[in-house]
Structure 1
Amino acid sequence: MDESSAGNGSMPGDALARLAARLVRAPMAALLMTRDEAVETFGHFGFVTPGRLPLADPLYSQVITDARVVRSDDDTWPGFGNQLAVRAVLGVPVRDDRDDVIGALLAMDRRPHRWTAEDVTSLLAVADIGGVRSRASADPDDGSAHSLASRFRTCHHAVERSLRSSRTGGEAAPRLLEAVATALDWPAAELFLVDEQTGNLDAVGHWSNWPGEPDDLFGHTPIKGAGITGRVWQTGRPIWVDDITVYTDLVTPFERNRVEAAADHGIRTVMATPVCDGDTLLGVLTCYAGSSQSHQELLTVLLDGVAAQIGIWIALRRAERLGHELSRTQDDFIALVGHELRTPLASITAHAGMLHDELDALTVDQQEMIETIARNAGSLQNTVNALLDLAGLEAGHLPMRRKKIDLCDLITAAVNSARPRIAANGIRLHTELPKTIRLTADPDRLRQVIDDILANAVLYTPLGGAVRVTATIDETAIQFQVADTGIGTPTDERARVFDRFFRGSNVRHHGTAGSGLGLSRARAIINLHDGHIHLTSNAPTGTVVTVRLPVPP
């Protein structure tokens, strides 16, 4: 068990590492302490802690043994650095009150990272807190630090429970603020969140242990750059004011009114910390106390941890809501296409067909125009039909008509249908199928899947390329696979190829026509068969689409 999860509690050390990472915009950070000729992980962020480490590891040994700052923007590291795939590291020593080096604080990145002088300063400041915290942890007589850490562990759990059971910040605020204020033993706390529409910072909830409701203190509208909450809103940095009644920076009428309102309720100390998602400020958490507080550095770090919890939750809720809104917008678009375009398209197609029957009476130019109209109307009609089909499948309105079929017969029929197009494109075709694969499925829908996958393989494979079609069965699954030597899909886009309307960037740049619906429909059909479909690369070029279906009992 590492130091950060020992009796002193994991949260303080982890909060220090998290704070360090946020200050220097690094995805990983570690607070390491020396012990018995080795190094213990006192706190970590962004990776799974390895626990005890050798003192001589190159990633941090120079920081500890030479007592110096180590800065590397792009390099490879053996040992611990290799385990984490570290490319860039910024390390500063952690010292005790005798100025002896007792550990190292590291910020790390798996990509090249240009560290700045400001980053070094920020990390040194956090390392100083780390030294203070380590001494408190090592000193059994310092019961107040232990007690505070213990209360905040309880606080973190209470905040997590509150967020998990709430849908909005306003709904979560009273319970999470009570947890925070109780942990601090402070009389009041308030949460402000940035309104996505107006950009204003609005009060969404508060808690106090006062018997009445102090309307003049809570619910005010902050001004960016004015007052304690407003300054945190502007700078994105926490502010601690030990005594607001003598704090000389609060001089404007608005600020003096806020000071008077707080003083009327016996408030002297105010701590405000930003609620962020990465570099984006989402709100401010403001807490109030009636007297000066000890352990200010530790309290700041602990509150930063709570604010980080809130920030992650808000970001997830907003992303979830945006996802629902996007899905609803796509559904509305599909409904619009289906109901508003179907009738005029049918009319255009019918009239184009009638004119096509009279081609002999038209000039050559007129004939080409009619053929273009008929071709494009037919293409648009196919897209509309695919949209409506996909919507019906995803909504569960189109049931699967299952019966016993032979998958090999279905694949063979689809391949034979595609052979003329494959030959016309100069593509080599290879098939490898067993004699039979029996299963219960909807033959028409499964044929749609095979046709769509084959069509994609042929469409994106150049002259002289190859398409390979295989099928297998074992005790775990039935597998159908189409591999091509085409243009492939960029690695960072493979997870999205089954999304509605998505087309790869390389496909768009090639100018290849398509609607981005074929694989979406294929996934919907395979899901309804309790199967799975995924896409991988085909070395050295191309794509492999694999469909796996359950083996019949």
Structure 2
Amino acid sequence: MNADLEVMGIALGCSTAAALTGLPLLRALRRRPLWATAASLSVIPVVAVTVGVAGTAQAMFLSDHDLRVVLIVVVVSAVVASASAVRLGGPVVAAIGTLTRATAALGEPGYHGADRVPTAELGALATTLDATHVRLVEARERERALEASRRELVAWISHDLRTPLAGIRATAEALQDGLVTDAETTARYHRLMLADAERLTGMVDDLFELARLQAGALRLSLEKVRVADVVSDAIAAVDPIARAKGVVVNGRADHAGYVDADAAEVGRVLTNLLVNAIRHTPDDGTVEITATADADRAVFAVADRCGGIPQEELPRVFDLGFRGESARTPGGDDHPHQPRMRSGIGLAIVRGIVEAHGGDVTVHNHREGCRFVVALPTS
């Protein structure tokens, strides 16, 4: 028993001493390539075992021949074990190198993930990198689309602001220079200035609403709103615009229930859609708004007679700054009473408000026009 303990003690001492000598080597290799560290981690345990066996064999006072045989066996075994360990660790080192290069190329066109990895952990890392790459590409595409929309919006805003400002300036200069003297013309000029000022106010309101939506600062005052009341209020709000253009707005609410919503914001959604429909519907045409029930949702639909939207433009209808003016043949800016969706952001506001309610809005060509569909949860 004492001999066994003595052997264990000698083996433990020799192996521990050999293993501890490897610590400075690992510390020195911290900033070296991974293969050097992996090789050291493979060789150091084998060396520790070799030293332990050799020290124990020598302490057992074997004959020179037996000791030489033991040492030969130990050295050969150590060399084979070390080479095998380094060889088996090669795929891990290669896989980590591949993952490192993949990490550097995340989000870039030249990204290539690791198809085959030797361990489950590295496989999970490769899967995570692939998913991260997809998210980065999608985020970059969204950023590019948003930047393009912003540039388009700035262009439209610059154009739209100049028009009423130029009108106000021209009218004010005419009044200041005394070019208008009779009361009737003066009153008409004042009405034109007021109309242009209201138009500017509407643009500013739209921009403020859009800024709140994009910042997530829109606070909804949810309450039980009767679906039929929302439809009738929206029709009443656009009635003067429709009459000025000679467009008939028909409404029908087959949904007799209620929807949990902010009445003012939902009313703004439907009003914007109706104004948009009236604008693109020919004079003496018809615009229809309906409300129906679909499972646990209230579905509002606004149909116009715009002549349809090109299929390639449908996905961009709700994008910030997009107008697609050329797509809709009826109507035109030359009409004196024609309403307009201000600065290409009216439909972007519609989408933002609907999504804030947890609903969705879509558009598709329907018969001789377009049909916008808003679905809001009823509970």
> What is the TM-score when the length of structure 1 is the normalising length?
0.39
Corresponding residue number in structure 1 for 2:140:
321
Q: Which residue of 2 aligns with 1:544?
A: 371
Query: Deviation at 1:383?
Result: 1.4
Give 3-state SS (helix, strand or coil) of 2:207's partner. helix
| Cα pair 1:453 1:519 within 8 Å, conserved | yes
Q: Does 1:436 align with 2:250?
A: no
Q: 1:416 is paired with a residue of what secondary structure?
A: helix
Which residue in the other structure is 2:56 paired with?
none
Whether the 8 Å CA contact 2:280–2:306 is kept in 1: the answer is: yes
SS in 2 for 1:530: coil
Instruction: Choose which of 224, 231, 238 in structure 2 pairs with 1:411.
Output: 231
Alignment-derived partner of residue 81 in structure 2: none
**For 1:461-491, what per-residue CA distance to the aligned partner results, in whole angstroms no more than 9, with x for missing partners?**
1134222221112433211111122222111
Deviation at 1:322, TM superposition (A): 5.8
Residue 286 of structure 2 corresponds to 466
Letter in 2 for 1:405: V
- CA drift at 1:381: 2.5
Compute the displacement of 1:410 (Å): 1.4
2:260 is paired with a residue whose SS is strand
Q: 1:337 to 1:509 in 2, by over 3 A?
A: closer
Q: Deviation of residue 336 (structure 1)? A: 12
Amino acid at match of 1:427: V
Deviation of 1:387 after TM superposition, in Å, equals 1.2
Alignment CA distance shift 1:367-1:508 (3 Å): farther
Seen in structure 2, the aligned counterparts of structure 1 residues 470 and 169 have a Cα distance that, compared at 3 Å, is closer
What is the match of residue 518 of structure 1? Answer: 346
Partner deviation per Cα, 1:502-534 (whole Å, 9 max, x = no partner): 111425776445421111111100101000100
Whichever residue aligns with residue 411 of structure 1, its letter is: V
In the alignment, structure 1 residue 527 sits paired with structure 2 residue 355:
yes
Aligned residue runs from structure 1 range 418-429, under 5 A: 418-429=238-249
Q: Is residue 429–residue 468 contact of structure 1 (8 Å, CA) maintained in 2?
A: yes
Unaligned runs of 5+ in 2: 1-93, 119-129, 334-339
SS of corresponding position for 2:196:
helix
Q: Residues 418 and 378 from structure 1, CA distance in 2 versus in 1: closer, same or farther, beyond 3 angstroms?
A: closer
1:487 corresponds to 2:314: no
| Native 8 Å contact 2:296 2:378 kept in 1 | yes
For the 8 Å contact 2:227–2:255, the answer to whether it is kept is no
SS in 2 for 1:458: helix
| Aligned mates of 1:169, 1:360 — CA distance in 2 | 65
Q: Counterpart amino acid of 1:486?
A: C
Distance between the aligned counterparts of 1:464 and 1:349, measured in 2?
A: 31
Q: Which residue of 2 aligns with 1:52?
A: none
Instruction: Give the AA of the match of 1:416.
Output: A
Specify the code of the residue in structure 2 equivalent to 1:529. Answer: H
Q: Are the equivalent residues in 1 in contact too, given 2:318–2:351 (CA < 8 A)?
A: yes
How far apart in 1 are the matches of 2:293 and 2:96?
48
Match of 2:222 in 1: 402
Amino acid aligned to 1:548: A
Q: Distance in 1 between matches of 2:102 and 2:240?
A: 59
1:391 pairs, out of 191, 211, 216, with 211
Q: Is the 1:407–1:436 Cα contact (8 Å) retained in structure 2?
A: yes
> What is the one-letter code of the residue matched to 1:439?
V
Cα shift readout 1:25-45 (whole Å, capped 9, x = no counterpart): xxxxxxxxxxxxxxxxxxxxx
Opposite residue 534 of structure 1, the aligned amino acid is: T
Secondary structure of the 2:217 match is coil
- For 1:495 and 1:337, locate their aligned partners in 2 and report how far apart those are by CA, in whole Å: 20
CA contact (8 A) 1:429 1:467 kept: yes
- Cα distance in 2 between the residues matched to 1:467 and 1:479: 17
Matching residue's letter, 1:401: S
User: Is the Cα–Cα contact under 8 Å of residues 465 and 486 in structure 1 kept in the other structure?
Assistant: no
Name the CA distance, whole Å, in 2 between partners of 1:448 and 1:472. 19
Q: Contact 1:409 / 1:436 at 8 angstroms: preserved in 2? A: no
Q: Following the alignment from structure 1 to structure 2, what is the Cα–Cα distance between the partners of residues 387 and 486?
A: 26
Instruction: Name the one with the larger helix percent.
Output: 2
CA distance in 1, matches of 2:100, 2:304: 50
Moved more, 495-504 or 164-173: 164-173
Q: 1:407 to 1:414 in 2, by over 3 A?
A: same
Instruction: Using structure 2 for the length normalisation, give the TM-score.
Output: 0.54
The answer for the alignment partner of 1:273 in structure 2 is none
Return closer, same or farther for 1:318/1:548 CA change in 2, 3 Å cut-off: closer
Q: State the one-letter code of the partner of 1:517.
A: I
Give CA deviations for 1:409-467 in whole Å, capped at 9, x if unaligned: 11112113323433443334332213732122111000000101111111111134222
Count of residues paired in the alignment: 264
Deviation at 1:394, TM superposition (A): 2.1
How big is each residue's C-alpha offset from its partner over 1:73-94, in whole Å with a ceiling of 9 and x where there is no partner? xxxxxxxxxxxxxxxxxxxxxx
Query: Against the structure 1 CA distance between its residues 158 and 406, is the aligned structure 2 distance closer, same or farther, given a 3 Å change threshold?
Result: farther
For the Cα contact (< 8 Å) 1:488–1:543, is it kept in 2? yes
Percent identical among aligned pairs is 24
Inter-partner Cα distance in structure 1 for 2:211 and 2:304: 29
Change (3 A) 1:370 1:435: same
Q: What is the rounded CA distance, in whole Å, between the counterparts of 1:390 and 1:458 in structure 2? A: 22
Cα pair distance change 1:156/1:456, threshold 3 Å: farther
- Structure 1: runs of 5+ lacking an equivalent: 1-154, 184-309
Partners of 1:549 and 1:158 lie apart in 2 by: 50
Q: Check conservation: 1:349, 1:378, Cα contact below 8 A.
A: no
CA distance in 1, matches of 2:102, 2:297: 41
2:344 partner SS = coil
When Rg is computed on C-alpha atoms for both structures, the one with the higher figure is: 2
TM-aligned CA deviation for residue 361 of structure 1: 5.2
Do 2:107 and 2:137's aligned partners in 1 also have CA atoms closer than 8 Å? Answer: no
1:545 maps to a residue whose letter is: F
Map residues 333-344 of structure 1 onto 2, 5 A cutoff: none
1:331–1:391 CA contact under 8 A, matched in 2? no
